[in-house]
Copies of this chain bind each other. A is one copy, B any other.
């Protein structure tokens, strides 16, 4: 049984995700559907890229990952399918795949958009049929011609390092208000403490339980980078911080 993961900004209140599931189950009978999430904020490409970048590798080889965070749907942005590291990916060429490793080595095809496709719902009419075809064992090359040029990627924030400090940024804020940064565990090894937007965020600890309720806690998170949280609270609110906020590791 093959697997298709779904990652969209459609929300779950409307008919849209149910229609996607119907197309996938009709065209790939027996496939297992696994939601990554449908609650990406509308059009938030960096959030989709972060979520896909974390979750895809937990799935077995052969999984098809369908991403429909697609504010440019119906315009000239390309529709893509490609294979990478034994997994398949389907989605718009707008940067949602930026979080994948070795993207430059992927064989990528451009999906044709038929006249009959609804210009506002390529998820249902372009991407789901392609995902179902791949899950059913169809060869990538049958879905469309190789693309020309490279995929769209957004510039990921880089970490700046010198002898006395390391400076990164918040790259994702989860729904608890935890601030996920691009600083690795190595970046903060031996540091005296962290600052978020110039405000003290304390030393690096291990887990939430290391501080009392309401306390600030920084730790190397489950995605492999430093996070700053408030136990039973919101670090985003505490620091009035969001994606792009500066996080500094200070060495004494």
The reply to whether the CB of A167 lies closer than 8 angstroms to some CB of chain B is no
Question: Per-residue 0/1 for A8-27: is the Cβ within 8 Å of any B Cβ (1 yes, 0 no)?
Answer: 00011111111101110110
Q: Could you tell me if B15 and A37 are in contact, using CB atoms closer than 8 angstroms?
A: yes
A59 proximal to B (CB < 8 A): yes
**In contact, B5 and A42 (Cβ under 8 angstroms):** no
Q: Which of A49-57, A191-199, A241-249 contacts B (4 or more CB under 8 A)?
A: A49-57
Interface contact A174-B232, CB-CB below 8 Å = no
Would you give the shortest CB distance from A158 to chain B, in whole angstroms? 22
B25 touches A32 (CB 8 A): yes
Question: Contacts A34-B33, A73-B208, A119-B206 hold; do A54 and B15 have CB atoms under 8 A apart?
Answer: yes
Choice from B11, B56, B71 contacting A175 with Cβ under 8 Å: B11
Q: Is A189 close to B, CB under 8 A? A: no
Q: Does A124 contact B222, Cβ atoms closer than 8 Å?
A: yes
Copies in the complex: 3
A118 contacts chain B at the CB level, 8 A cutoff: yes
State in angstroms the CA–CA spacing of A242 and B19 once bound together.
23
B74 contacts A206, C-beta separation under 8 Å: yes
Is B13 a contact partner of A39 (Cβ separation < 8 A)?
A: yes
Interface residues of A in 47-90 (CB under 8 A from B): 50-51, 54-60, 63, 71-75
Residues of B near A96 (CB, < 8 A) are: none
A122 to chain B, nearest CB (A): 9
Asked whether any CB of chain B lies closer than 8 Å to the CB of A176, the reply is yes
Q: Is A36 an interface residue (CB 8 A)?
A: yes
Task: Determine if B120 and A221 form an interchain contact, defined as CB atoms under 8 angstroms apart.
Answer: yes
* B contact residues around A36 at 8 Å (CB): 15, 17-18
- Say yes or no: B12 contacts A60, CB within 8 Å: no
B12 pairs with A39, CB closer than 8 A? yes
A207 to B55, CA, bound (A): 31
- Can you add 6 more A-B contacts, CB < 8 Å, to A18-B55, A75-B210, A120-B207? A5-B22, A11-B176, A16-B174, A30-B32, A75-B207, A120-B227
Binding site for B on A (CB under 8 A): 1, 3, 5, 7, 11-19, 21-23, 25-26, 29-30, 32-40, 42-43, 50-51, 54-60, 63, 71-75, 118-121, 124-125, 174-176, 206-210, 219, 221-223, 227, 232
Q: List 8 A-B contacts (CB under 8 A).
A: A13-B40, A13-B175, A18-B37, A33-B34, A71-B209, A118-B221, A119-B219, A120-B221
